Amino acid sequence: MKKILNIRYFLIGLGLSYFASSCVDLDEEVYSAVTADNFFNTDEEFISALGQAYTSLGGLGNHSGLWSINEIASDEIVVSHKGGDWFDGGVLLQLHQHEFKSDNPFFQNSWNFLFGGINTCNRLIFSFETLDNPSSEAFIAELRALRALYYYWALDAFGNVPIVTDFSDTEAPDTKSRQEVYDFVLGELNEIIPLLPTAKDGTTYGRMTKWSALMIRMKLYLNAEVYTGSPQWALAAADASEIIDSGIYSLMPSYQSNFLINNSQSTENIFVYPYDKVFAGGFNWVMMTLHIVSQSTFNLTQQPWNGYQTVEEFYNSYVDPAKNPGTQGPVWKGLALEQSTGTIDGRLSNFLVGPQFRSDGTTLVDPGVEPTDPTGRNGDPNGPPLTFMPYLNEISPGGLRQAGARIAKYEFEVGGTDNMSNDFVIFRLSDAILSLAEAKFRMGETTEALALVNQIRARAGNLEPFTSITEENLFAERGREMFVEMTRRQDLIRFKKYGEAWWPFEGMNRPKLVHSPGSYLELFPIPQPQLLANPKLQQNPGYN
């Protein structure tokens, strides 16, 4: 009921937005009208309008936007060019190979997502500020918190962006430095955090609270050295501690429970976007990652696209190769869990690997599998079985159809559509715990850092605790826990690993990707269409 209640209010907001922008017959007699005077009288009416700002977040879970540029540019995700599929003008290869170009449409989509959300927040703030209603102050604070989230993502991805807060200002905005954007977001959060609600219940689910705003500020401080040149580990630790010590959130006994179809009961998720396959669509990972014939595994109403895959080395970071040699290279036969004689990381549920079957348990055949596929296609008289293997042969042009562990972090619904109903997790407690561990480690408080990291490992299941904490195992643990939660690119940059040679693909006929920490490639280029539309914008250094 909590999820349904909030989605209903979001949809009311969408409906108002629709009617406000629709064409009308000016000669038609108007019997009623929604105005500031006769509408914003109750909290429910404010919340329905707020829905317009929150629904902008619906772009997170689909292809070619902010999530995609962060993940494909990291060492987690690749979308290989599979024969005639997924070349798409080379834009996906450019992202993974760090050949960023300002005309890549993924950057334009991401910019539109961010500034579309900012613009909606500004419009609603402008409307609420005209009201003589004591309730408006709290809702304006909530909108400023949401706007701060969009700006935090913008400064992380693009760095030097315009700061726009006045909806009535028609002047084209100037580019502001990353330091200025950082200072703006921090100033906004410092002002509104005391005004935000602290409750965790049906009235605040999927909405900005003190705790989600503290997560944004914690992230700012955690990455402050990257953003401004001045580390802020103690301040990051203070915000993380406040969230943890509140006692409002607790780790779920099962990691997987945070990502179920019905994950609104998670005690760990701090801020989510409540997708719904009927009322709030756009969460398309089931289409983006599964093989075409996986439709028969889950009885899906639509055929998946066979696109997004996990980088092999990243998958193998969950499995000790000394205890499980079958996971390495082209000899892998999809038996990782069965072959392992050591400990099992329960977070392997993040991936779909091994032989795939129809929903009735019969073998699922991939009629288009390549003759060079190493999964034993010639051994089955009934045809080649679909087998997802972590092995990736190359990125282009001959990526194998069955190569790459598939993203299975969120539960797939049997009988599901191309839209998933799982709530998309933006912030959760485990990130705060690992962030506190990192901040303490950076400050030399290694005993406390070790205990925090081992708390996360203990929940993962059957894992031996670390006996010491190092930068390497802290970084690796963040990767395993936070897979595809849009943190990895940021972590790579902060740990000075962004640009290391993580490309294992054979047949690429090009040098390994290597660029030094601090490279201009740590920022994405300002999209070319934005530069053409607004001559006051300045391209990030290093890009033409």
Per-residue model confidence (pLDDT) at position 379: 57
Q: Per-residue pLDDT tens for 374-390? A: 775 555 656 677 899 88
Length of the chain in terms of residues written? 544
Per-residue model confidence (pLDDT) at position 420: 98
Select from 178, 176, 188, 181 the least CA-distant residue to 213.
188
Per-residue model confidence (pLDDT) at position 514: 77
Per-residue model confidence (pLDDT) at position 382: 61
Per-residue confidence band for 319, with pLDDT thresholds at 50, 70 and 90 = confident
Cβ–Cβ < 8 Å for 51, 117: no
Mean pLDDT of 155-173: 95
Per-residue model confidence (pLDDT) at position 256: 97
- Percent residues over pLDDT 70 in the chain: 85
Per-residue model confidence (pLDDT) at position 435: 98
> Could you give the 3-state DSSP secondary structure of residue 283?
coil
Single-letter residue type at 15: G
Query: How high does pLDDT run on average in the chain?
Result: 87
CATH no. of 2-22+40-61+100-280+425-500+522-533? 1.25.40.390
E-strand stretches of 274-378 = 309-310, 351-352, 354-355
Confidence check: pLDDT of 453 > 90: yes
The C-alpha torsion from 318 through 323 and 327 to 333, rounded to 10°, is -130
Distance separating alpha carbons of residues 43 and 47, to the nearest angstrom: 6
Who's near 357: CB < 8 A, 6+ residues apart? 297, 363, 364
Select from 481, 480, 498 the least CA-distant residue to 490.
498
Per-residue model confidence (pLDDT) at position 517: 87
> How far out from the chain centre does Cα 358 lie?
30
Per-residue model confidence (pLDDT) at position 371: 82
Q: Per-residue pLDDT tens for 424-448? A: 999 999 999 999 999 999 999 999 9
Cβ–Cβ < 8 Å for 207, 6: yes
Structure tokens at 292: 């075409």
Per-residue confidence band for 372, with pLDDT thresholds at 50, 70 and 90 = confident
Q: Per-residue pLDDT tens for 302-317? A: 999 999 999 988 998 9
End-to-end Cα spacing for the chain: 51
Mean pLDDT of 118-126: 96
Confidence check: pLDDT of 474 > 80: yes
Who's near 193: CB < 8 A, 6+ residues apart? 145, 210, 213, 214, 217
Per-residue model confidence (pLDDT) at position 13: 43
Cβ–Cβ < 8 Å for 407, 516: no
59, with CB counted inside 10 A (0-12, 13-18, 19+), is buried
Q: Per-residue pLDDT tens for 51-96? A: 999 999 999 999 999 999 999 999 999 999 999 999 999 999 999 9
Select from 390, 524, 453, 508 the least CA-distant residue to 99.
524
Per-residue model confidence (pLDDT) at position 124: 95
Distance separating alpha carbons of residues 334 and 352, to the nearest angstrom: 10
- Name the residue with higher pLDDT: 341 or 453: 453
Give the position of tokens 């561990």: 437
136-157 vs 178-192: helix crossing angle, rounded to 10: 150
Per-residue model confidence (pLDDT) at position 134: 79
Cβ–Cβ < 8 Å for 100, 525: yes
CB atoms within 10 A of CB 289: 28
Per-residue model confidence (pLDDT) at position 337: 38
Per-residue confidence band for 368, with pLDDT thresholds at 50, 70 and 90 = confident
Select from 369, 368, 494 the least CA-distant residue to 434.
494
Confidence check: pLDDT of 148 > 60: yes
Q: Where are the domains of the chain?
A: 2-22+40-61+100-280+425-500+522-533, 287-418
Mean pLDDT of 211-228: 98
